């Protein structure tokens, strides 16, 4: 796949997090003791997987530091 920003070839792999983690998106990162689901613009990208790494198939362009994934 070609990078939409610079046009160079992207490398396929996985975006992953530490054990028991999950990926989310929001307009701002909530504080440690705030419920992330209440953050403005919150979108759950993955579920928590107890004792497993959360992973998402992704493509990376190391030339312009772009990562693309579908959720």
Question: Among candidates 71, 66, 35, 40, which has minimal Cα distance to 56?
Answer: 71
End-to-end CA distance of the chain: 18
Task: Show Cβ contacts of residue 65 under 8 Å, excluding neighbours closer than 6 positions.
Answer: none
Tens digit of each residue's pLDDT (9 = 90 or more) over 59-71:
999 999 999 999 8
The more confidently predicted of residues 65 and 20 is: 65
pLDDT in tens, 40-57: 999 989 888 777 888 899
């Amino acid at each position: 796949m070609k990078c939409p920003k610079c046009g160079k070839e992207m490398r396929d792999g996985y975006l992953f997090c530490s054990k028991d983690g999950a990926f989310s998106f929001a307009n701002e990162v909530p504080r440690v003791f705030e419920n992330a689901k209440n953050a403005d613009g919150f979108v759950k990208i993955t579920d928590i997987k107890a004792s497993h790494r959360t992973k998402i198939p992704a493509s990376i362009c190391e030339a312009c530091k772009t990562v693309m994934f579908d959720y």
